Every structure is written in structure tokens, then in C-alpha cells.
Chains A and B, each alone.
Chain A
Amino acid sequence: MTIEGADIVKAAAFLGAGISMGLGAIGPGVGEGMAAAKACEAIGRNPKEAGLLTRTMLVGQAVAESTGIYSLVIALLLLFVV
């Protein structure tokens, strides 16, 4: 089996895409969970503000999600552009 340069570059790009998305999913997953747990705690203490708290939770989670989306973008770039 002969291995050419282009083949190795492609192989490395695929591996990099997988690792990028995989590792990149850890942080947002854990962080969004923490946000949701705190929102539940706050609603438990002060149920009247449930609407406001859920909104704040979603905004916080959307920001925490951004690094996950960066990873997704990088993975897609590695798969289809490189």
C-alpha cells in the first residue's frame, strides 16, 4: 500500500475534525447543565420569577453554546474545505 501526501493530509483533517467536535462538545454540555441546574434552584426559591429566570437561563446557555458552535464550524471546515 502506497501512502501519498494528499492522503495523509486528508486523514489528519478527518481525525482533527472528529477530535475538534468531540472535545469541543464537553465544555458546553457540562456548562449548560450547570446553568439549567442553577435556574431550577432559583425557580425553586422564587417561583414567581419563573419566566424571567427561564429567559436568563436560555440566554446564558446560548452564550455557553457558542464554543460548541465554533468547534462545529472548525470540524466542518476541516471536513469540506481543507
Chain B
Amino acid sequence: MGFGAIGAAVGEGYTAAQANAALSRDPENAGGIFKSMLVGQAIAESASIFALVVAMILLFSDFSNGSYVTVAALFGAGLAMGFGAIGSGVGSGFPAGAACVGLARQPAISGKLTTNMLIGSAVCQTPSIFAMVTAFILLFSDFSQSPVNPTWAAVLGAGLASGLGAIGSGIGGGSVAEASSEGVARQPGALTTVTNVMLLGQAITQTPAILALLVSFILIFKSYPATGAIAPAMALLASGLCMGIGAIGPGIGEGIASSGGVRWIARNSSIAGDLTRTMLVGMAVAESTAIYSMVIALVLIFVV
């Protein structure tokens, strides 16, 4: 919950700052800018509301008959949702801020701009929804049949993987949506092309979060032989950490790459094909380190 609140606060703060910048540019349109700011902030807030729900469940449920595995699972659920909400909170703030600035520039297209912003920030929320899914699975699964020793590390690792893994994709998806809102405000005529490329870019930006979700599902649902040694447990914990941290960079980087593509397609839509190709090649290369992380994570689970 604490981590989740950080993201929402940063995102909303960014939106408010951009709204103020926009207001100083175009004071007559204060009402429209204010409305756009509030809508954008409400979406950025939703990630932290997910975190609040998970925190409430953790606080008010009765887990008195649980083992150490349950304790680890609850801890993992809290970490997943807390970290997972950071990215989406920060990311959703970006398009909202860009939409405020865009409204000041082009008040006439407020409807199109708001629609574009809403689509972009809704997609930004998906990584935090992935994290919430993992958190709920961890909260409501029954681990009483599993051996305590490696399983505690697996559930903790699963929470870390999908929580940390959602940070990068949330922030990255936000920078794509920001470029798109900015582009629509500059060139309202390119709305369709820009929205399509934005969705393509955001979809690819989500892939590190999806890899992290995959690793955390494997960690949760694989069954482990009981052991007294500490090395197998550490391998599972490290697997979650590796995939989770490893997904941050590619998520942010793909977002930056795609935001460059979207921004310049808006300015020069006659070469959309060339730009989309370069954007996709660049994103594929940025993805490679996430795939290395997944390879190491899978080796840690299945080989060593």
C-alpha cells in the first residue's frame, strides 16, 4: 500500500504541475483544463485504490490457521500490489499532463484529446491489474499441502516478480500515451494513425510485465519437493527478483522508444511506415535484456 501510494502521488503531482503550466498559457480555458486534470488524476489514483483493496483484505481477513507459507504468501501479495501500483500510478499521470497542455494549445479538440488520453491511461493500468491478479491468487490459494521450505521462497518470489515487473511497463506505457496525447494536440488530423501506433507501442511495452506474470504463475503453481537445504529456496526467490527487476528497464526503455515513434508519426505521418518499422526494431532490441532475465529466472526454477 505504501509503495502503491508513492506511484499515484508522483503521477498526480505531475498531472497537476502540467495543468498549472497549461493554465498559465491559456487562462481562459481554466475549466476545461481543470476537468481534464481531474479525470486524469482519477485514473492515476485507481492503481493505488487496487493497492488499498489488497491492503484492506490483508488487514481484515482471518489467517489464524495459516502456516509460514501463508505468511510468505501474504507478504508476497502485499509486495506485488504495492510495487505493481507504482508504475501505473506514475505512467497514468503522463498522458493526463500532456492532455492538459494540449487543451491549452488546442481547446477546440478537447473531446478527441480526452478520448485519446483515456485510452492511453486505461492501457497504463494493465500492469497494475496483472499485479493485482497475482496478489489475489497469493491471498486466496491454499498452500497447506505444500512443503514449507522451498514454497515460502516461491510465493515471495512470485509476488516480487509480478510487482517489480509491473513498474517498468506502467511507466513505459505512460510515456507512449503522453507522446500520443501531445501528438494529437499538435496534429488533430493524425488522430487515427497516432492512436493505432500508440496502442501497438503500448502492447509491446506490456510484454516485460507479461513475462513477469508468467514467471510468477510458474513459481506459484509448480509443486516442489520438500527439502532441508536453503539453496533451492534461494534459487526460487532469486528467480522472482531477477525477472521482476529485469523487467523494469526494458519496460521503461520500450516506452521511451515507442514515445519517440509516436511523437514523430504525429508530426510527419507521411512516413508512418518507416517510423513504425524503426520503432519496432528498436523495441525488439530493448526487449532482449528482459528475455535474458526470463532465461535466468527459468534456469533458476527448473535447472539448478
Contacts and interface: CB of A to CB of B under 8 A. Distances in A.
B136 interface: no
Interface residues of B, number: 64
A16 B303 CA distance: 16
B304 to A, nearest CB: 6
Closest 4 A-B residue pairs measured CB to CB?
A36-B282, A33-B253, A29-B249, A18-B238
Contacts of A71: 292
A33 to B, nearest CB: 3
Interface string B218-260: 0000000000111101110111111111111111111111011
B278 A54 contact: yes
B284 to A, nearest CB: 9
A65 B289 contact: yes
Interface in B143-167: 149
Interface of B: 149, 168, 172, 208, 228-231, 233-235, 237-257, 259-261, 263-265, 267-268, 270-271, 274-275, 277-279, 281-283, 285-286, 288-290, 292-293, 295-297, 299-300, 303-304
Interface of A: 1-3, 7-8, 10-12, 14-19, 21-41, 43-45, 47, 50, 53-54, 57-58, 61-62, 65, 68-69, 71-72, 75-76, 79-80
Contacts, number: 210
B255 to A, nearest CB: 7
Nearest to A54: B278
14 contacts: A1-B149, A1-B228, A11-B234, A17-B238, A17-B296, A21-B292, A22-B241, A25-B293, A32-B288, A35-B257, A36-B253, A36-B283, A37-B257, A65-B285
